[in-house]
Structure 1
């Protein structure tokens, strides 16, 4: 019983999300699948008309309308090397160098043990020959 209710609630949620997405893109002219027609960005007038059909709050609509009319980009331009990347890169290099250091130490230790075993084996063989 409870699992049926959960399944029904999930189906309702999925349907409501599908409906909201269908309503969201209703004013955008999209090329049909398989057509050779490239996607064209909507004009400012089309975007302003779509703002009224979107389920946004009044304040959000006004902010978007002001941004569209002022010509300011809604998304800031990406910079190739941000300050976060410049801070993160040395830490990643430090961690990588620590792994390399301990990996090398482990390798040398294993090689030294192997050499010691080989020397012991040779000494035993020399003793047996005498």
Structure 2
């Protein structure tokens, strides 16, 4: 089992990041571009954090992958989705991660492999 951050930074015209993410989560499908370096590594059972990039910079949910990424549909299926209300600011999670971790607030990719410690820090911040 691996841990990933799904980083949403672009939306359809006229849609906000929260609205776009909510639509993906309702559908239980998260689109993954085939050019993403980790796309083909995504598999059932992996744990993901759903992150809204700039300007929001908040975690809004976590989920488990119910399917691997497929070239046919360019997406993964999500299960065990837990929405976080209120969202968890990235600064809260960064403050909880040991300084040896390679954590940051902005990411150049839509799928980012993270450590178990980073994943657990976000979960802990969401429940405290």
Q: What TM-score, normalized by structure 1, do the two folds share?
A: 0.23
Q: Compare the two structures and name the one with the higher helix fraction.
A: 1
**Larger Rg belongs to:** 1
Query: With CA pairs under 8 Å and 6+ residues apart, which has the higher RCO, 1 or 2?
Result: 2
Q: What TM-score, normalized by structure 2, do the two folds share?
A: 0.23
Q: Compare the two structures and name the one with the higher strand fraction.
A: 2
